[in-house]
Structure 1
Amino acid sequence: MSRKLFSLGFVIILIFSLSLTGCGSSKGNNNAGTNSEKPAANTNGDTAGNATTEPAVDESTAISGEITFLTNRTDMIGKEYDEYAKRFNEKYPNIKVEFEGSQTDYNQQAKVRMASGELPDVMFIPQIPNSDLPKYFASLDDLGLTDQVTFKDFKSQDGQLYGITTGNSTSGIVYNKKAFADAGITDIPKTWDEFLAACEKLKANGVIPLASNFKDKWPLNTWAFDTPRLIAGDPNYPNEKLNQDAPFTMDTGYGKAFGLLKELNQKGYLEKDINSTNWEQSKKDIASGKFAMYYLGNWVINQIIGAGTTSDNVGFFPLPYDNSGTVTATLSPDNFYAVAKDSKHIDAAKVFLKWMIEESGYEDFAGFISPLKGKESKLTQLKEFQATGVTLVEGTVDDPKVTEISNKAQLDLPAVVQEFVLAKDPQTVLDKWNKSWAKAKKDLGY
């Protein structure tokens, strides 16, 4: 796979250069609401329009049912989701939407429910091979969005679309500008050494430099997935494990990426007790300046603003993971919406999913780049990010064989990061997972 490096400005222009054709249209072969365009049969059995043709059915009232959306955004339940439901029902009054929050690890909870056969109507796709998508989810090609959405190949199988990204992100350092100014940091760090120096100034000023949310595990995804790819300089780096029996070493992408976080912890630049962190509280602490930085995607920016600060106090720059002075960042999709194949109200579920993509405005609320080509982001912090001269590495689709091996080896990379950071001898952690990887790979015949 060839390497794809783009400037952020170029990528955004490329992604959003195509105009939206057919957004919100009820035309086309769309199970999620095309009754108004379907010709009614006459008494002679043909579909030609004549005086005996039945009147068209209004799609907004023809589709009904009660559906459930399982979401990881528990903070939106009773708030923004209520507003979404109200607006949705103004257009589709006969569809009732319930929002169910995942209180634990979403990926694990979703897999448990898949195994039990009790899937919600609308959900995010967990980490499963794409070959399993048709077993659990309905094709979304009838929504008329297939040619309009970005990253459509990520959740497709046998030419069918099963998942649509909620939005796209690039990862970097989201920071409190006042905390930086109060600590005497006048320039954005462009090398790892400069980043460490900034952390030292923040620490000396009584501010926790970086909120890792170590205990919650999922916030470590940037260290587990994005940073190894960047350090290796290979957008397909995660899939290269397929050709290796010992992919985890100290001197390559994974070891170096995990080592950065370990160094930050050893120098006292993370939370004082990384085993008792709290995600919701950390957003308030970033907003107040008690904590200075996150290393996460642009999606978290609006959450920090909502936690008690102003937009102009929140900045965004790429993580300078080495001392080269040349910085890259990833462009990646976030969670993928899907509709359960066995939903009792599959048309209602599809109508809601399409509305979330086209009309809800969730991507702007969440701070995402829109999943639709041609729809520009309103996030001003992306302009600051672009001004650093960063280049973007476009992510690649996970190889299903790699996913299969990972599942058999019970490989959970964010958990590996946790082990690595806390270990006295991190090499033993890598050795353990290399052994598990090699065995699973051999057992599966790869």
Structure 2
Amino acid sequence: MTLQFFSTKTENASTYKQLIKKFEKQNPNITVKLSSPSNAATVLKTDLAKNSIPDVMGVGGDANFLQLEKAHVLKNLSGESYTKNVQPAYKKMITSLYSGNKLYAVPYATNASGVIYNKSLFAKAGISETPTTWNEFINDCKILKAKGITPIEFTFKDSWTTLAIFNQLSSNMISSTWINKRLDNKSTFLKTHKQVMAKYIDLFNYGQADYNGTSYNDGNAAFAKGKAAMMINGNFVIPEITGLNKKVNLGMFMFPVNNNKSQNKVTSGVDVAFAISNKTKHAQAAEKFVKFLMEEKNAKEYAKQQFAFSAIKGVSQDSSLVSGISPELTKGNVTNYPDHYYPSSFDMTKILTQTGVNAKSGMSETKNINQSLKNADKAFNSANVKE
């Protein structure tokens, strides 16, 4: 028997192959064929058109998964035993993407955004503790700047990195229920996101001179060389930086967006969730394979190899590089990425990139805030077409 396993994430193929080999050894009558194409979204659309869905799918909590859910081709996994060990916060991130509480994909691996920092540069500036409030964070930026150290490395030439910052601000300042009002045209970015945009713009004061023209790769290279003290992005950036300089002394902490510590959460999302086709001819084998992947020892191996966090209770990311943030994920102090709920054709990164250009050109903060949010509403309205 051959089980088709489709992954929307190419980077984890090597880890899957190791786990598949282990599974096949335990189940000699089952062969698992892995497919992880770079054009996963296109392949899924083709599969849906052909009514030929893979038996098991590894998807993110994003538009690719929603495409499958809306096509009603996924099995309801709510009652499966292996879902009981999944953190409730991550289950909710999946079910909140659609109406109803049925679980059509079981969360497995997660990621987290925060502040990656150079411990050596913090020590050089005399900063002994990481900030836990917005005011402390800005004060540390001022201290670093006064010491001749660039506080934050921005990489806005690659526009997706703007959203890595805005998402954290928005998810910690705006209620998660707001998006429903916006989708129903009962609210706007302009009415609700002025403080979010003000903080986003304030951060530019502490970046390198060419923050709009620095690419992700160039920014990582500069950070690896100690050219800046912080980067605001996801845990996945850390291996990129340590790969360039193994001696760089890094850590990561939760972005302290609010001055009330209790209101701060880690912006985290479902990076991998497993779904099963409701039309598979190998339902028992598919269930066995997903259950195997969800086992604690296998989930821990995945997290270790992929430098990921886990949605499974009791499975922690043990790397000291993220020890400043991992306890928050373990206890479920997390909030989802706001853009996971945006219409698929709405490009907030385009708006945010222009905000940076406006600031650099000398536009006043008030005008920049209003113009950026009006543009966001206009683009959102165009994309918010009811299906």
TM-score, reference length from structure 2: 0.71
Q: Does 1:135 align with 2:75?
A: no
The equivalent residue for 2:264 is 328
Q: Secondary structure at the match of 2:127?
A: coil
Of the candidates 167, 172, 191, which is equivalent to residue 114 of structure 2?
Answer: 172
Counterpart CA distance in 1 for 2:370 and 2:207 is 23
Of the candidates 257, 265, 270, which is equivalent to residue 196 of structure 2?
Answer: 257
Q: Does 1:427 align with 2:370?
A: yes
1:415 and 1:199, CA in 2 relative to 1: closer, same or farther beyond 3 A?
A: same
1:216 and 1:373, CA in 2 relative to 1: closer, same or farther beyond 3 A?
A: same
The equivalent residue for 2:226 is 289
1:213 and 1:133, CA in 2 relative to 1: closer, same or farther beyond 3 A?
A: farther
Identical amino acids, percent of aligned pairs: 21
1:372 and 1:204, CA in 2 relative to 1: closer, same or farther beyond 3 A?
A: same
Q: Greater share of helix residues, 1 or 2?
A: 2
The equivalent residue for 2:255 is 319
The equivalent residue for 1:67 is 4
Q: How big is the alpha-carbon RMSD for the aligned residues of Structure 1 and Structure 2?
A: 4.4
Q: In the alignment, residue 371 of structure 1 is paired with which amino acid?
A: A
Contact preservation (8 Å) 2:157, 2:215: yes
The equivalent residue for 1:37 is none
Deviations 1:344-402 (A, max 9, x none): 766555544433332142224444443223444434466534899xx97653799xxx9
Counterpart CA distance in 2 for 1:324 and 1:397 is 20
1:80 and 1:109, CA in 2 relative to 1: closer, same or farther beyond 3 A?
A: same
Q: Does 1:370 align with 2:307?
A: no
1:138 and 1:379, CA in 2 relative to 1: closer, same or farther beyond 3 A?
A: same
Deviations 1:84-106 (A, max 9, x none): 34434433454244352537xx7
Counterpart CA distance in 2 for 1:101 and 1:198 is 43
Counterpart CA distance in 1 for 2:140 and 2:276 is 45
Q: In the alignment, residue 431 of structure 1 is paired with which amino acid?
A: K
The equivalent residue for 1:189 is 131
The equivalent residue for 2:83 is 146
- Deviation of the 1:146 alpha carbon: 2.5
Gaps spanning 5+ residues in structure 1: where?
1-63
The equivalent residue for 2:348 is 413
- Deviation of the 1:182 alpha carbon: 3.5
- Deviation of the 1:145 alpha carbon: 1.5
Q: In the alignment, residue 302 of structure 2 is paired with which amino acid?
A: Y
Give the 5 Å matches for 1:13-412: 64-65=1-2, 67-74=4-11, 76-77=12-13, 79-93=14-28, 94-102=30-38, 112-113=45-46, 116-117=49-50, 121-125=56-60, 126-127=62-63, 132-133=69-70, 135-141=72-78, 143-150=80-87, 151-156=90-95, 160-199=102-141, 202=144, 209-232=151-174, 234-242=175-183, 245-249=186-190, 252=192, 254-265=193-204, 267=205, 269-270=207-208, 272=210, 274-279=212-217, 282-283=219-220, 285-298=222-235, 300-301=237-238, 304-305=241-242, 308-309=245-246, 313-321=249-257, 328-330=264-266, 332-335=268-271, 336-341=273-278, 349-358=286-295, 359-360=298-299, 361-380=301-320, 384-385=324-325, 394-395=334-335, 403=341, 406-407=342-343, 410-412=345-347
Q: In the alignment, residue 59 of structure 2 is paired with which amino acid?
A: F
Q: In the alignment, residue 272 of structure 1 is paired with which amino acid?
A: D
1:98 and 1:416, CA in 2 relative to 1: closer, same or farther beyond 3 A?
A: same
Q: In the alignment, residue 200 of structure 2 is paired with which amino acid?
A: L
1:340 and 1:392, CA in 2 relative to 1: closer, same or farther beyond 3 A?
A: closer
- Deviation of the 1:174 alpha carbon: 1.9
Q: Secondary structure at the match of 1:293?
A: strand
Q: In the alignment, residue 106 of structure 2 is paired with which amino acid?
A: I
Counterpart CA distance in 2 for 1:149 and 1:387 is 16
Contact preservation (8 Å) 1:288, 1:309: no
- Deviation of the 1:149 alpha carbon: 1.7
1:169 and 1:436, CA in 2 relative to 1: closer, same or farther beyond 3 A?
A: closer
- Deviation of the 1:248 alpha carbon: 0.8
Q: Secondary structure at the match of 2:310?
A: coil
Counterpart CA distance in 1 for 2:214 and 2:37 is 22
The equivalent residue for 1:26 is none
1:392 and 1:67, CA in 2 relative to 1: closer, same or farther beyond 3 A?
A: closer
Deviations 1:157-215 (A, max 9, x none): 65532112233455321212123224443342344454345445656777654344434
Contact preservation (8 Å) 1:69, 1:99: yes
Which of structures 1 and 2 has the bigger CA Rg? 1
Contact preservation (8 Å) 2:168, 2:267: no
The equivalent residue for 1:48 is none
Q: In the alignment, residue 239 of structure 1 is paired with which amino acid?
A: N
Contact preservation (8 Å) 1:300, 1:366: no
Question: Which shows bigger deviation, 159-168 or 346-355?
Answer: 346-355
Contact preservation (8 Å) 2:168, 2:255: no
